[in-house]
Amino acid sequence: MEFLVRTEITPPDLPDDKLASLYDSERDRARELAEAGTLLRLWRIPGRRANYGLWSAPHATALHDALTSLPLWPYMDIEVHPLAAHPNDPSPISLE
Amino acid sequence: MEFLVRTEITPPDLPDDKLASLYDSERDRARELAEAGTLLRLWRIPGRRANYGLWSAPHATALHDALTSLPLWPYMDIEVHPLAAHPNDPSPISLE
Amino acid sequence: MEFLVRTEITPPDLPDDKLASLYDSERDRARELAEAGTLLRLWRIPGRRANYGLWSAPHATALHDALTSLPLWPYMDIEVHPLAAHPNDPSPISLE
Amino acid sequence: MEFLVRTEITPPDLPDDKLASLYDSERDRARELAEAGTLLRLWRIPGRRANYGLWSAPHATALHDALTSLPLWPYMDIEVHPLAAHPNDPSPISLE
Amino acid sequence: MEFLVRTEITPPDLPDDKLASLYDSERDRARELAEAGTLLRLWRIPGRRANYGLWSAPHATALHDALTSLPLWPYMDIEVHPLAAHPNDPSPISLE
Amino acid sequence: MEFLVRTEITPPDLPDDKLASLYDSERDRARELAEAGTLLRLWRIPGRRANYGLWSAPHATALHDALTSLPLWPYMDIEVHPLAAHPNDPSPISLE
Amino acid sequence: MEFLVRTEITPPDLPDDKLASLYDSERDRARELAEAGTLLRLWRIPGRRANYGLWSAPHATALHDALTSLPLWPYMDIEVHPLAAHPNDPSPISLE
Amino acid sequence: MEFLVRTEITPPDLPDDKLASLYDSERDRARELAEAGTLLRLWRIPGRRANYGLWSAPHATALHDALTSLPLWPYMDIEVHPLAAHPNDPSPISLE
Amino acid sequence: MEFLVRTEITPPDLPDDKLASLYDSERDRARELAEAGTLLRLWRIPGRRANYGLWSAPHATALHDALTSLPLWPYMDIEVHPLAAHPNDPSPISLE
Amino acid sequence: MEFLVRTEITPPDLPDDKLASLYDSERDRARELAEAGTLLRLWRIPGRRANYGLWSAPHATALHDALTSLPLWPYMDIEVHPLAAHPNDPSPISLE
């Protein structure tokens, strides 16, 4: 099942190197989630520290686990929108 | 450039066969836009006559032209969210 | 997976017997969905033609199919909230 | 009478062990309220430090007392939605 | 238990005498509900066809039954706010 | 003239005894305002540090003076809704 | 006591002469309310069939009576904001 | 041109005498703006540290300069509503 | 003085030729307002029958007159945002 | 492609000279973006530390890069509205 996820980030007040290291680990975890087929797409919302993501997970509990595994999660405000299949979708993913 | 497009549909009050024909032409036009690389993904918002779509167009004017070419457009309420590239996107499309 | 579903109903302008018959078939379909384990609970929002429902479905697509199978669906405005398991839930249902 | 309760938590800025101890006592108090038949169900809102709960209490005053007995209550933002019986509810609880 | 109830009325498009008769029966039913101790206070929201009411009912289901017994109910948009006892209330009613 | 007043309280960060003393003086001032016929009713909004109050004052200026005389006022967020007489009110107060 | 009143007008679907006559009687009634000291100021909200008005009335009930005496009242959506005296007001009106 | 200005004030955390001095200079500046014909009326929003003001300025730039000349401006959240002349205004000011 | 104007259009239910003629006269009036220096820029909001416009007028009353001179005005929902000069504006217009 | 950009600024808590220097570099960067044809117009929202800007960029990613190049960006809350060409625009820019 796919989910549209909107995320706003309020980065913590850390020294520059600690913050850079936090963002590095965020990038690494995002890559792992992408390789696992959980994170499908990610876009910046222009002008903001915010993004839209397209996620795939068996259910909302698995999605919650994936989202809270992100190093920046404590600094995120997240809204999850469940997505259903549309017959006109050009590139549907299989539902299993 | 990609756009996230949220659409609510209030179908017109038509006889069943006319409505079916309208939805058929909508499906056909969606397929054309998909083949042209304009409509990338489409999801139903569960429980509603509404959908999220991922669209690609050179600019907002081209997107407007694509959206208004849909046979159901006169019955749609549409919100367009511009999307920027995110460095952690697993499947970025090229910007040209 | 469970979903919290909020529904507002604007009943159609029908003669009384047709409306009663529509509500009868709604009750019958709700019973079928309850027997299938899809509709778990249903509450009225006091003072309104509206309700909260607790639903269970494998994914949002199956939930959409269940909701649109309700005879009153064309007259419903529906919001779906995905639910994740909470470790302190006294009566969790299994995730399969 | 049943209530749907939406809760957002902003955890206090405490050392890790104190925070863990606070969450332990929250879990214990939730278990007591479940055993007393006050807390019926609890779900996480995916991606957030937030939950929906299904509560049962004789009236809003008793519900308020139950909610404020939670150790995390000072850090909660709570919205209470009163629920009325629906004739199509598959598993109604008795009203006394 | 007490409830604060906000009501907006969109009166039906009826001939003047039918509308007057509808408002007369509304007044009569309000009086019955007041005598039964269900409707405690009623105020107009200035400038609007709307009111705030203070209601007393054992639970939300009884309140729903009282509200839907009003002749104008089909034309009302209603929001119910549950009220809990406050220790500084100058004129508390008993909770039974 | 009556007013419906909704109040949210964000208590100050004070030692426990100072906070208790502040709440004591709040209770005393509320009692004085009740005896003066200014504060008529007070209800907790369940789950929140918030309340609805029914107030009576000759005009908004007198109401403002009464509200700002509360010791907790600096920590309150207040919304005032003016109330007009309704012909179906079971217990109207006189307007002078 | 003064009130700030925001009004949106959805004019009825009437023949031009009937509508003109309705607006004439609105202007006449506004003039009467101005002469009575009830309507103090009136501004258009640019671009809209809407206005802000500054009104004076002993209480919300008298204001409601004044507003509902306007011939266009059935077509108005009105929000009333109560105003209190400010010590820095250059032109306060007396409170009696 | 007239403007309706809504202002919320979050006073700074200053010692009492400094705060009093700040409010004194605010009162003085308000008086100057009133004498200049820029500030026409000022009302408290009851229960809040907030006000509505009626201002007159040749254009929004001059209004901005007047508002930012207030000593409390750094602590204000301001919304400006432009006002147009209404033919039924009892006391119109001239437009030059 | 400049204004940012957001307009939503709900076109009337007219025969195609009448509607086309209405849009033609709208285009003609827009051109006149542009030549008069009143309408400076106009953009479509993608996907909607809506636009943002940049307008210049001596005051809100003149702007209201310009907007209501548009043939489509009766079918428009308009929000006006007043604009003030910014010192970093690359192309300021003169304020007279 | 043009974008309408609304920006709210919460300036950091810096000594006056550092803040002045920050605003100086903001002005310089705004000038560079104007010379590059990226920032077309800029207006203050009266009464607020906020502005509307008209920007031109090939796509949302380039716009994001321009916005985040502003020295004040970390203190900005930004909303981006994509703009499409309108046939009645008096001064359209070319789309390439």
Q: Would you state the pLDDT for residue C71?
A: 97
Look at G96 and C37; give whichever has higher pLDDT. C37
Q: What is the mean pLDDT of chain H?
A: 96
Percent of chain J with pLDDT over 70: 98
Percent of chain F with pLDDT over 70: 98
Nearest CB to B44: which of A30, A44, A85?
A85
**Residues in contact with C34: Cβ distance below 8 Å, sequence separation at least 6, in sequence order:** C40, D88, D90
Residues of B in contact with J3 (CB under 8 A): 82
Whether the pLDDT of residue H95 is over 70: the answer is: no
For an interface test with H, the pick among J9, J43, J44, J48 (most H C-beta atoms closer than 10 Å) comes out as: J48
Q: What is the mean pLDDT of residues D51-63?
A: 98
Q: Residue J95: which pLDDT band, with cuts at 50, 70 and 90?
A: low
As a whole number of angstroms, the distance between CA I55 and CA I37 comes to 8
Helix runs in G1-96, H state only: 16-35, 60-68
Percent of chain A with pLDDT over 90: 96
Whether the pLDDT of residue H96 is over 90: the answer is: no
Residue B18's alpha-carbon distances to B25, D29, J50, in angstroms, are 11, 60, 50
Mark yes or no for CB contact F61/H47 under 8 Å. Answer: no
Mark yes or no for CB contact H3/I82 under 8 Å. Answer: yes
Q: Minimal Cα–Cα distance from A91 to chain B, Å?
A: 6
Q: What is the mean pLDDT of residues C73-90?
A: 97
Q: What is the mean pLDDT of residues G79-87?
A: 98
As a whole number of angstroms, the distance between CA I78 and CA E5 comes to 33
Whether the pLDDT of residue E60 is over 80: the answer is: yes
Whether the pLDDT of residue C68 is over 60: the answer is: yes
Q: What is the mean pLDDT of residues H33-48?
A: 98
Percent of chain I with pLDDT over 70: 98
Residues of A in contact with D46 (CB under 8 A): 3, 60-61, 63-64, 67, 78, 80
Partners of A78 in beta bridges: A7
Residues of G in contact with H2 (CB under 8 A): 43
Whether the pLDDT of residue G86 is over 60: the answer is: yes
Chain B residue closest in CA terms to A36: B90
Nearest to E85, CA basis, from G35, F43, D41: F43
Question: Exposure of A57 by Cβ count < 10 A (0-12 exposed, 13-18 middle, 19+ buried)?
Answer: buried
Q: What is the mean pLDDT of residues A47-70?
A: 98
Percent of chain A with pLDDT over 70: 98
Whether the pLDDT of residue I96 is over 60: the answer is: no
Six-digit token string for G52: 């802000």
CATH number for the domain formed by residue range(s) A2-80: 3.30.70.1060
Q: Residue A95: which pLDDT band, with cuts at 50, 70 and 90?
A: low
Residues of J in contact with H64 (CB under 8 A): 44, 46-47
Whether the pLDDT of residue B12 is over 70: the answer is: yes
Chain F residue closest in CA terms to H48: F78
Domain covering G2-82, topology: Alpha-Beta Plaits (3.30.70)
Mark yes or no for CB contact A79/D46 under 8 Å. Answer: no
Query: CA torsion sign, I53 to I40 to A45 to B78?
Result: positive
Whether the pLDDT of residue E95 is over 70: the answer is: no
Q: Minimal Cα–Cα distance from G24 to chain I, Å?
A: 19
Q: Would you state the pLDDT for residue A29?
A: 98
Q: What is the mean pLDDT of residues E41-61?
A: 98
Q: What is the mean pLDDT of residues D31-40?
A: 97
Q: What is the mean pLDDT of chain A?
A: 96
Domain boundaries, chain C: 2-82
Nearest CB to D46: which of A60, A76, A77?
A60
Rg of the Cα trace of chain D? 14
Nearest to J9, CA basis, from H74, I38, H10: H74
Q: Which value, to the nearest 10 degrees, does the dihedral of the CA atoms of residues D22, D24, D25, D28 take?
A: 160
Residue pair J81/B3 in contact by the 8 Å Cβ criterion:
no
Residues of D in contact with F45 (CB under 8 A): 80
List residues of chain F with CB under 8 Å from any CB of chain H: 3, 5, 7, 60-61, 63-64, 67-68, 76-80
List residues of chain E with CB under 8 Å from any CB of chain D: 1, 3, 58-61, 63-64, 80, 82-85, 95
pLDDT digits (tens, 9 = 90+) for E20-34: 999 999 999 999 999
pLDDT digits (tens, 9 = 90+) for B22-64: 999 999 999 999 999 999 999 999 999 999 999 999 999 999 9
Q: Would you state the pLDDT for residue D81?
A: 98
Q: Minimal Cα–Cα distance from A59 to chain D, Å?
A: 10
Q: What is the mean pLDDT of chain C?
A: 96
Mark yes or no for CB contact G63/E46 under 8 Å. Answer: yes
Q: Would you state the pLDDT for residue C67?
A: 98
Mark yes or no for CB contact D61/E3 under 8 Å. Answer: no
Q: Would you state the pLDDT for residue B93?
A: 83
Q: Residue E94: which pLDDT band, with cuts at 50, 70 and 90?
A: confident
- For chains B and I, CB pairs below 8 A equal 24
Q: Would you state the pLDDT for residue E87?
A: 96
Q: Would you state the pLDDT for residue I95?
A: 59
Whether the pLDDT of residue D95 is over 80: the answer is: no
Nearest to G63, CA basis, from G92, G45, G28, G36: G36
Q: Minimal Cα–Cα distance from I39 to chain J, Å?
A: 7
Q: What is the mean pLDDT of residues H61-81?
A: 98
Chain G: list its partners (3+ Cβ pairs within 8 Å): E, F, H, I
Q: Would you state the pLDDT for residue F66?
A: 98
Residue pair A75/A12 in contact by the 8 Å Cβ criterion:
yes
Q: Which residue type is seen at D44?
A: R
Six-digit token string for E42: 């009623």
Q: Residue E96: which pLDDT band, with cuts at 50, 70 and 90?
A: low
Q: Residue G93: which pLDDT band, with cuts at 50, 70 and 90?
A: confident
Chain I: list its partners (3+ Cβ pairs within 8 Å): B, G, H, J
DSSP structural state of residue F6: E
Q: What is the mean pLDDT of residues B81-89?
A: 97
For an interface test with B, the pick among A59, A89, A91, A95 (most B C-beta atoms closer than 10 Å) comes out as: A89
Residues of J in contact with B85 (CB under 8 A): 61
Whether the pLDDT of residue C96 is over 60: the answer is: no
Mark yes or no for CB contact I82/H83 under 8 Å. Answer: no
Whether the pLDDT of residue B94 is over 80: the answer is: no
Residues of A in contact with C83 (CB under 8 A): 60
As a whole number of angstroms, the distance between CA G37 and CA G54 comes to 11
Q: Would you state the pLDDT for residue J7?
A: 98
For an interface test with F, the pick among D39, D78, D81, D83 (most F C-beta atoms closer than 10 Å) comes out as: D78
Whether the pLDDT of residue G95 is over 70: the answer is: no
pLDDT digits (tens, 9 = 90+) for J50-82: 999 999 999 999 999 999 999 999 999 999 999
Residue I24's alpha-carbon distances to F49, I17, I30, I76, in angstroms, are 58, 10, 10, 16
